[in-house]
Chain A
C-alpha cells in the first residue's frame, strides 16, 4: 500500500487550485516548508503571503481577504491555528461566516518528537463548537486532494485537519467520490460498526480484517466530515449493528466519538466505545511509539470491538 502524508497532498492540491481558481490565495505563518504551502508560494508568488510567526494575524488577514472576495487558505500547525488563534477564528471568521479555509497540519499525537506543546488533541472539539464552521479530517492523500478542491468550491468557513506522517492510501483515486458532510462506507458488516476518522481509518480497516478472520462481521465507516456530521449513516449503523466503536487521533472528549455519541443518543441509542487519547497530554516520542502508548492502534480497536460484542450479548 502506498503512503503519503495528507499535508503533502494538501500542497499538491493547492498548486492545482492556483491554476484553476484565481481568487485562491495562500497564507502561512513561517511554516511553509512543513505545511507544504511552499509549492504554491513558488508557483504563485504574488498570491502567497507569509505573515511571519503571528497566527492571530494569519487568521485576521485571511478574514479581510475573504471579506473582499478572495478565497484564502490559511496554514499553520493545528495547535497554533486552533489554539492560539481560536478567538480570531471564532469572531473574525465563524461569526461573519467568511470564506476562510483554515488548513492545519501536524495535528494529533503523530507530530511525535516535538511533544505535548505541539500535539493538538483538542482542535476538532474547538472547531466543532464554532457555529458556521465545517470540520474535515481526511483519511488519506486521495481524500485530502478531493476535500481541498471541494472546500474551494464551497462558500463558508472550513477547518481541515492534516497530519505530519505518511499514511496509507486507502481510497481509489479513480472511483472515490468525496462529498462534504457525507460519511464513506468502506466495508459492510452486521455485528458492529467501527467509525473512524483521519489516520485511524486505515487502522480500522486493518482491525476489521483481523476481526473478520475471527468470524466477526464488522462495518467500517470513514467520517471525514466531523461537522456537519452524516447522521443518516451513523443512525443506520446503530440500528443495523447495535454497537459502535469510534476511533480518532484526538481526545475522546469533544471529537468524533462525542459527535457520534450525540447522534445516536438523540436518535437511536446503541452501545458505544470511544478510542482516542483519554483526556491526557501526549509526550515526545516516535509517532508509532506514541500511538501504541496512548492506545491508538489496530490492536486497541480489535480489543474494543471484542469487548463491545460481549456487552451486546449481555444486553
Chain B
C-alpha cells in the first residue's frame, strides 16, 4: 500500500474520531451517514480539491457542497482537520451561539460553501456553481455529496437533468450509497435502485466505487476529470456507521448520538485517542 493511501486512511480515521466525540458532546446529531462518508471527505479535502484554509473565500477554489446536510459532522470534522477553524469548535456542535449548526450554514462556518439540510437542494445549488464556472471559463471544480435516500427527492432529478443538459464536466457528484435511511432500508421505504443506471439515463458518466477504498476513490476522481462534455457521478458503495462495529448497517444510528459508554467503545475501535 502506498504512503498516500496510508496518510488518507489515517485522516479518515481521525475524522471518524472527531465525529464520535462531537456527537457525544452535543448529544444530538447524525453519526451513521457521517461515518459512511469519512473516507470520501478525507480523499476530497486531503488530495483532490484545491482549497486554502487560510483564504477560505479564494475565488478559484474548488467547491464542495454537502447536499446530505445532516452529515454535517463529517464536514465539520474535515474542515477543522484541514485548518479552516479550531478543532475545539467541534465540541460546540449544535449548541447555542455556536458556529456549527445542526446542518451546514454557509454564513457561519468558514469553508462551508452552501447552506444545506433540506435534501436535494445542495445538489441543485452545485449545478449553479458549476454553471457559473463554465460561464466565466474558470478552472474550479464543484463536488457534491448526496445520500442515496436523498435521491428520492424530485429536485435531485431536476438538477441531474440540468447538469447533463449544460454539459457540466466540471461537476462531480458522489452518492454515499449506504442503502439506509431514517425509517429503514431504501429498498423497503422507496427503492432507489439501480442508482447508476438512473444517472446514466439522465446523461451522466457513472463510476461505481467502493466508498471506503481510498484507492478506488482516488482513481475515480481522477477519471472523472478526464471525462469531457458530461458530469460524472461516483456511486460509492458504503456502510452506514462504517468503522464502529455496533453502528455499522444499523438504522438506529442514523440520528442517535453516542452515550459515554458508546463513545468509549467506538473510540477504542477507532484506535483510541
Contact = CB atoms under 8 A, between A and B. Distances in A.
Contacts of A88: 118, 121, 124, 155
A46 B131 CA distance: 11
A56 B158 contact: yes
Given A57-B127, A65-B129, A96-B115, A47 B135 contact: yes
B115 A60 contact: no
Contact of A63 (B117, B124, B158, B162): B124
A176 interface: no
Interface string A69-91: 11010000000000000011001
B181 interface: no
B161 A25 contact: no
Interface residues on A, range: 20 to 34
A85 to B, nearest CB: 9
B105 interface: yes
B133 interface: yes
A270 interface: no
A92 B124 contact: yes
Given A61-B124, A61-B127, A91-B115, A52 B107 contact: no
Interface in B157-187: 158-159, 161-162, 165-166
B154 interface: yes
A70 B115 contact: no
A218 to B, nearest CB: 45
Contacts of A62: 128
Contact of A91 (B63, B117, B126, B135): B117
A314 interface: no
A72 B135 CA distance: 13
Contacts of A66: 128
B102 to A, nearest CB: 13
A96 B114 CA distance: 8
B117 to A, nearest CB: 7
Nearest to A47: B135
Contacts of B118: 87-88, 91-92
Which of A66, A69, A70, A92 has the largest count of B CB atoms less than 10 A from its CB?
A92
A44 to B, nearest CB: 11
A57 B117 contact: no
Given A52-B161, A60-B128, A97 B121 contact: no
B121 A96 contact: no
A73 to B, nearest CB: 13
Interface string A38-71: 0000000011010110101101111111111110
A86 B125 CA distance: 15
Nearest to B114: A67
Contacts of B130: 64
Interface residues of B, number: 33
B113 A67 contact: yes
Interface string B246-257: 000000000000
A52 B12 CA distance: 40
B164 to A, nearest CB: 12
Contacts of A91: 115-118, 121
A62 B131 CA distance: 10
Given A63-B128, A96-B107, A68 B63 contact: yes
A60 B155 contact: yes
B4 interface: no
A60 B117 CA distance: 13
Contacts of B158: 51-52, 54, 56-57, 60
A268 interface: no
B114 A64 contact: yes
A190 to B, nearest CB: 47
Contacts of B189: none
Contacts of A97: 107
Nearest to B69: A91
A25 B133 CA distance: 13
A57 B162 contact: yes
Contacts of B166: 49
A60 B159 contact: yes
A57 B159 contact: yes
B222 to A, nearest CB: 24
A95 interface: yes
B106 interface: yes
Nearest to B156: A57
Contacts of B105: 95-96
B53 interface: no
21 contacts: A25-B132, A52-B161, A52-B165, A56-B121, A56-B155, A60-B121, A60-B125, A60-B159, A61-B128, A61-B131, A63-B125, A64-B114, A64-B126, A64-B127, A70-B128, A70-B132, A91-B115, A92-B115, A92-B121, A96-B105, A96-B106
Interface of A: 25, 46-47, 49, 51-52, 54, 56-57, 59-70, 72, 87-88, 91-92, 95-97
Interface of B: 59, 63, 105-107, 113-118, 120-121, 123-133, 135, 154-155, 158-159, 161-162, 165-166
Across chains A and B, which 9 residue pairs bring their CB atoms closest together, nearest first? A64-B128, A60-B124, A57-B158, A64-B125, A54-B158, A61-B128, A65-B128, A96-B115, A64-B129
Given A60-B123, A64-B132, 14 more contacts: A47-B135, A52-B158, A54-B158, A54-B161, A54-B162, A56-B155, A59-B124, A61-B128, A64-B127, A65-B132, A68-B128, A88-B121, A92-B118, A96-B106
